[in-house]
Amino acid sequence: MKHLRDMTLTFTVTWIFWLCQIRGRCLSQVVQPRVPPGQQVPCFYIFGDSLVDNGNNNGILTLARANYRPYGIDFPGGATGRFTNGRTYVDALAQLLGFPTYIAPYSRARGLELLRGANYASGAAGIREETGSNLGAHTSLNEQVANFGNTVQQLRRFFRGDNESLNSYLNKCLFFSGMGSNDYLNNYFMSDFYSTSSDYTVKAFASVLLQDYSRKLSQLYSLGARKVMVTAVGQIGCIPYQLARFHGNSSRCNEKINNAISLFNSGLKTMVQNFNGGQLPGAKFVYLDFYQSSQDLSSNGTSYGFDVIDKGCCGVGRNNGQITCLPQQQPCENRQKYLFWDAFHPTELANILLAKATYSSQSYTYPINIQQLAML
């Protein structure tokens, strides 16, 4: 029973499941997940890339990893694999939702812990299977959804194979999917490594991405997801990595990339409308406008306390964006003043501000905010 006491989730007796091979025999146990006081949903499942990865890439062969200092310099657990100085967006959101601890990475989540959620996100991952392969191994969206399918199979044991009860449980959970950035950064606009920019026009590429994404989100729906957040791709034409490489006359940002992303984002919002309009009965999808939010944080940086909006707190070269943050590199002293942590990712403060804005207001959410979604 010590294992149960150590779990962050509390349990009361209702459903029987079997725990075999404990001291050589099977024991009958009964559990029902009970939501801790103040926690607004029973569980939270996360899919995405390095913006929300919290350690899934630590043990694989890839350049897309962040389990070294100074990453995590402001996080209580240190360098856990989060691609920022502290909390990610979903860390901050989990706190707002009342979770007593952060959602565990799928690579570490085991057994009953999966009842409260898991983070499947992987740095360099994209909607397309080949995306991010220039950086090494990663878990694509297709594999992340498959991993959630494996999770559902494990959860079914806790519900004694009662699919109706399991689906009822999962229907109350929140699901987050933030995908698409790498399909542009580490695919379409990396023509030395990928042929997609010659295979597709910008409009056609957005279309095939959305078709693939729609299939994957529909798979999540078939596995029990009903309350789902999907994010627009942020204004990545303005991140330090792009600013270090772009030399435009009329704009500091690479508007070619921003315009391409806008096509995807527009289609994604239409997809959300279609899902909510009856295409996926009983589902409620919420569109998070990370493009507009990143634009606002950049345009009005000083009003949020950001003195530096065009360079990373940690990095090398022009805009601290030519090479991203290196092991044991000395970062900027005052992280609160920087919008970006490294060449690609926002600082903890930017993540917290965005989490608060999307949780309780409709500045960047459609058709409702996250707090309202949790209450459904």
How confident is the model over 108-119, as a mean pLDDT? Answer: 95
C-beta of residue 327 within 8 angstroms of C-beta of residue 73: no
At 31 the pLDDT is 53
Higher-pLDDT residue of 24 and 158 is 158
Quick one: what percent of the chain has pLDDT higher than 90? Answer: 87
How deeply is 350 buried, as exposed, middle or buried, from its count of CB atoms within 10 A (0-12, 13-18, 19+)?
buried
- pLDDT at residue 352 above 50? yes
SS3 content of the chain, % helix, strand, coil (to 5): 40, 20, 40
Residue-wise DSSP of 149-204: HHHHHHHHHHTTT-HHHHHHHHHTSEEEEE--HHHIIIIIT-TTT--HHHHS-HHH
What digits encode the pLDDT tens for the residues 159-199?
A: 998 999 999 999 999 999 999 999 999 999 999 999 999 99
Label residue 250 by pLDDT band (50, 70, 90). Answer: low
**Which residue's entry shows tokens 């804005």?**
357
What digits encode the pLDDT tens for the residues 123-147?
A: 999 999 999 999 999 999 999 999 9
Distances (CA, A) of 10 to 35, 99, 170, 342: 7, 12, 17, 38
At 32 the pLDDT is 64
Give the distance between the most distant pair of CA atoms in the chain: 73
At 6 the pLDDT is 37
Average per-residue pLDDT in the chain?
Answer: 91
Label residue 249 by pLDDT band (50, 70, 90). Answer: low
Residues 6+ apart with CB under 8 A from 45: 117, 118, 119, 120, 148, 151, 173, 174, 175, 176, 225
Measured between alpha carbons, how far apart are the two ends of the chain, in Å? Answer: 34
What digits encode the pLDDT tens for the residues 6-40?
A: 344 433 323 333 333 333 333 334 356 788 899 99
C-beta of residue 91 within 8 angstroms of C-beta of residue 83: no
Cα 168 off chain centre by: 24
Residue numbers annotated as active site: 50, 342, 345
Judged by average pLDDT, the poorest of 10-24, 179-193, 277-291, 307-321 is 10-24
Q: What is the CATH number of domain 44-375?
A: 3.40.50.1110
At 9 the pLDDT is 42
**Which residue's entry shows tokens 């995590």?**
72
At 13 the pLDDT is 29
In whole angstroms, what is the distance from residue 363 CA to residue 289 CA? 9
What digits encode the pLDDT tens for the residues 89-98?
A: 999 999 999 9
Label residue 226 by pLDDT band (50, 70, 90). Answer: very high
Indicate left, alpha or beta for 320 from its phi (over 0: left) and psi (-120 to 50: alpha): left
- pLDDT at residue 304 above 90? yes
Q: Is 39 helix (H, G, I), strand (E, B) or coil?
A: coil
Label residue 252 by pLDDT band (50, 70, 90). Answer: confident
Q: What is the CA radius of gyration of the chain?
A: 21
